[in-house]
Amino acid sequence: MTVNTPEAPHIRPRRLRQIDAMRRSVAETRLHPADLTLPIFVRESAGDPAAEQDVPIEAMPGVVQHTLDSLRKTVVRAADSGIGGVMLFGVPHTRDAVGSGATDPGGILNVATRIAREEAGDTLVVQTDLCLDEFTDHGHCGVLDAHGNVDNDTTLERYQEMAIAQAEAGSQLLGLSGMMDGQVAAVRKTLDSHGHSGVAILAYSAKYASALYGPFREAVDSQLVGHRRSYQLDPGNRREGLREATIDIAEGADIVMVKPALSYLDVLSDVAAASTVPVWAYQVSGEYSMIEAAAARGWIERERAILESITSITRAGADGILTYWATELATWIREGRTA
Please report which residue ranges of 182-254 form alpha helices under DSSP H: 183-193, 214-219, 238-251
Q: For residue 157, what are the β-bridge partners?
A: none
Mean per-residue pLDDT, 292-319: 98
Mark whether 207 is an active-site residue. Answer: yes
Is the Cβ–Cβ distance between 137 and 152 less than 8 Å?
no
Is the Cβ–Cβ distance between 106 and 169 less than 8 Å?
no
In the chain the first and final C-alpha atoms are separated, in Å, by 32
Listed by start position, the domains of the chain span 31-334
Tell which wins on pLDDT, 216 or 206: 206
The span from the CA of 64 to the CA of 30, in Å, is 29
Catalytic residue among 95, 196, 207, 228: 207
pLDDT in tens, 167-213: 999 999 999 999 999 999 999 999 999 999 999 999 999 999 999 99
Q: Does domain 31-334 have CATH number 1.10.3470.10?
A: no
Catalytic residue among 66, 158, 228, 259: 259
pLDDT value at 1 more than 80: no
pLDDT value at 5 more than 70: no
Mark whether 259 is an active-site residue. Answer: yes
Angle at 286 between CA 282 and CA 288, to 5 degrees: 70
* Residue 20 pLDDT grade (very low, low, confident, very high; cuts 50, 70, 90): confident
